[in-house]
Amino acid sequence: MRSLITLILCITVLQFSAIRSYGILIPFDINFGNVSPASSRLGRRTPISVTNTGNAQYSANMTVGGSQVRVLLDTGSSDLWVNFPGQTPNTADLGKSLTLNYAIGKASGDVHSATVGIGNFSLDSQAFLLVTDTSTFTTDIHGQGYDGLFGLGNNDGSVIQKKLGSSANSFLDRVFSSNKQTSNYITIMLDRKFDPGETHKGQLTISELVPGYENITQVPKLDVDKVNRLLKGDQHWQALTDKNIGIIGPDNQPIQIKSVVPSAPDGQLVAVFDSGFTFSQVPRDVADAIYGRVQGAQYDEQNQYWTVPCGQYLNVSLNFGGTNFPMHPLDTVDDNFHITNPSGNSACIGTFQPITTAFSMLGHYDMILGMNFLRNVYSLLDYGDWTGSNSRDKPFIQLMSITSVQNAKQDFIKVRLSGSDTTGDSRWTLLPASQMQHSPVSDAEKKRQYQEWILSRWPYIFTGCFIFVLLMIGLCIWRCCCRRGKDGRRRCTCCCGRDKKGGMGQLEKGGLGNPVGKPSANHNLGRAKGEGIPSTYIPLEDQQDYGHKSPPVVDDYDYSAHNMPSPPPAAYGSYGSFEYDQDPYQIPTRASVHPYSGNQSSYSSSLRTSYPPGLEPSDSPGHPPNNGYAVRQGYL
């Protein structure tokens, strides 16, 4: 996350609202000749001095093309850009332009290369963005004491590297690649202005530790790969809080909040460590829980932060890797900007600012811990040590607490309460939880939150929609192949017209298929050996030819609900006709057929008139003699 929070911006009532940051990339193609290999002149490694400007920005000196410039240190981005206050030094123009968008303002210019150095590290032909147009900046950056920005993020987040390839890797990545025998990490220590108990200075180190703080290598490692990242370029220095106790509020109770990151474990929040933010950005419910119970607290809707009395002592802490990290009370309630609250009274700013909707876009993280948190820890950011010629271990973070709760309280009493401990007075007592104030949410923000909720879960929504479409397609195919007959039963046929059992569908044979669904013991009559399993429907000509049908074939079948087949062709007439009181070749009605009396011989003789030559009932293959037409009892 890249931020250009400046001191003057904060002093002028912090036009600090709705802070949002995106890396908008302008696509282009670039080709350039071979760049000479990076040379790394590693001298004696000494800590790099970091300058603190009003607890609002931290910067260090660099040399670019032989000119010294002061750059902000930003762990939330990975690129280097510079706007020279005077004459531009001798640099190589690579012929392409791009724009980097930040929280406030943007940096546009041409990609150049030059010799770049910081501390005792120097690299030739280092790619950087030469900014020539500062009209989009919200303030005069040179007047605020800096000329550019030095991104300390992972090389994967570099916009310049993505456009120009590996020859334009970030400065730190090239430093680590030039000497694979050293560990690939940096450490950062930020100091605090106006703190009488401060004992350390701001420092940045590369592949070495600040003397006296070597034990940081023994603290738990926070694996940055455990967090959710939808796109590789969205990776930041981020870690998971401890389960259910990630943030401890001023009442010494955990603040329970659900993560907006879809893949985050239950009870844990995803936190980004970003030195580019003056104030930490946290979920609105967290900010309300910290400041909403303070007597006299008011929420500034214009600037989107809480204002509280400067004498309010608030003890807040966070937990990572099983370690508690207390916040200095001077970092929880900030008085550096001399503001007034909405009522016109002098007040201080609550440094845990409700996160704006842009920060949770796509659900990558829940909160950003900025300078006010980083002043309380000594941070080690490991980029992954080399395990082979071109492979690295996973990156990780290590944090060491440098704030003592007891000493911090004494510092607060000296600075805010004029040396008199009145923190126990009733005016500083927190209100009951039932009286807690809640910061308002505008309709526009609610709409953006809803949109971002959808965007953060679009992979799951897409997967669900895809599965739904597949199910609908399968259902349509099933309904087309399995149609319901007039008897209410489904008959399933495949595309070639065969039913599930391999028989031919009724349309191909011109018959009724298998209306009853019961197999007959003699269902193979009239078919040649080797044919597929036939339908149990017996064509009308077979009924006349063989006449000896097994009763189960039609025993339960009621023809009254079905249309009977049309009369067969004239060729079938040679077999004679039935002597019914109806038209030839029609099925008799109940009234025209007498019930079977039990005498097969007499009953069958009353129904038949003639048979084809040589095919008397007794000659019917596979049937006992004198069975006749007793099968017709199923019609009665």
Do residues 385 and 312 share a domain?
A: yes
Do residues 175 and 238 share a domain?
A: no
C-alpha span between 299 and 516 (Å, rounded): 77
pLDDT tens, 9-46?
343 333 333 333 333 222 222 222 333 333 333 444 67
107 in Cβ contact with 81 (< 8 Å): yes
Angle at 201 between CA 199 and CA 205, to 5 degrees: 130
138 in Cβ contact with 12 (< 8 Å): no
The domain total for the chain is 3
Secondary structure of residue 384 in the 3-state scheme = coil
Secondary structure of residue 334 in the 3-state scheme = strand
Q: Is residue 408 part of a domain?
A: yes
* Mean pLDDT value of segment 387-407: 87
Residue 249, pLDDT score: 98
Please indicate whether residue 340 or residue 233 has the higher confidence score (pLDDT): 340
Q: Is residue 260 part of a domain?
A: yes
* Strand spans (E) along 370-466: 377-382, 396-401
Secondary structure of residue 303 in the 3-state scheme = coil
Indicate the pairing of strand 298-300 with strand 396-401.
unpaired
Q: Residue by residue, what is the 3-state secondary structure of 560-608?
A: HHCCCCCCCCHHHHHHCCCCCCCCCCCCCCHHHCCCCCCCHHHHHHCCC
Indicate the pairing of strand 352-354 with strand 317-320.
unpaired
Rounded to the nearest 10 degrees, how much is the dihedral formed by the CA atoms of 437, 315, 274, 50? 140
Q: Is residue 32 part of a domain?
A: yes
pLDDT tens, 537-566?
555 455 545 444 445 444 444 444 444 444
Residue 169, pLDDT score: 95
Please say if the pLDDT value at position 80 is more than 70. Answer: yes
C-alpha span between 415 and 360 (Å, rounded): 36
Do residues 172 and 222 share a domain?
A: no
Do residues 141 and 276 share a domain?
A: no
Please say if the pLDDT value at position 341 is more than 90. Answer: no
Do residues 387 and 247 share a domain?
A: yes
Question: Which range, 263-277, 401-415, 513-527, is most confident?
Answer: 401-415
Do residues 314 and 385 share a domain?
A: yes
* Mean pLDDT value of segment 206-218: 96
Residue 118, pLDDT score: 97
Do residues 167 and 262 share a domain?
A: no
Closest CA to 176 of 192, 194, 152: 152
Residue 38, pLDDT score: 35
**How would you list the strands of the sheet with 396-401, edge to edge?**
48-49, 203-206, 185-189, 377-382, 396-401, 222-223
The domain in which residue 633 lies consists of 539-636
Q: Is residue 27 part of a domain?
A: yes
Query: What is the value of pTM for the model shown?
Result: 0.67
Q: Is residue 499 part of a domain?
A: no
290 in Cβ contact with 250 (< 8 Å): yes
% residues pLDDT > 70 (the chain): 63
Do residues 353 and 402 share a domain?
A: yes
Do residues 268 and 123 share a domain?
A: no
Do residues 250 and 166 share a domain?
A: no
**Which amino acid, one-letter code, is at 184?**
N
* Mean pLDDT value of segment 316-345: 95
Please say if the pLDDT value at position 511 is more than 50. Answer: no
Q: How is residue 457 written in tokens? A: 């879960």
Q: Is residue 294 part of a domain?
A: yes
Residue 488, pLDDT score: 63
Residue 135, pLDDT score: 78
Q: Is residue 451 part of a domain?
A: no
pLDDT tens, 312-326?
999 999 999 999 999
- CATH (domain of 134): 2.40.70.10
Q: Which of 439, 464, 482 is the last residue of a domain?
A: 439
With cut-offs at 50, 70 and 90, classify the pLDDT of residue 261.
confident
Do residues 174 and 269 share a domain?
A: no
Q: Is residue 463 part of a domain?
A: no
Closest CA to 594 of 579, 575, 576: 579
DSSP code of residue 432: P
Please indicate whether residue 230 or residue 444 has the higher confidence score (pLDDT): 444
Do residues 2 and 121 share a domain?
A: yes
Q: Which of 416, 439, 462 is the last residue of a domain?
A: 439
Q: Which of 152, 179, 206 is the last residue of a domain?
A: 179
pLDDT tens, 42-62?
444 679 999 999 999 999 999
C-alpha span between 200 and 218 (Å, rounded): 21
C-alpha span between 327 and 317 (Å, rounded): 5
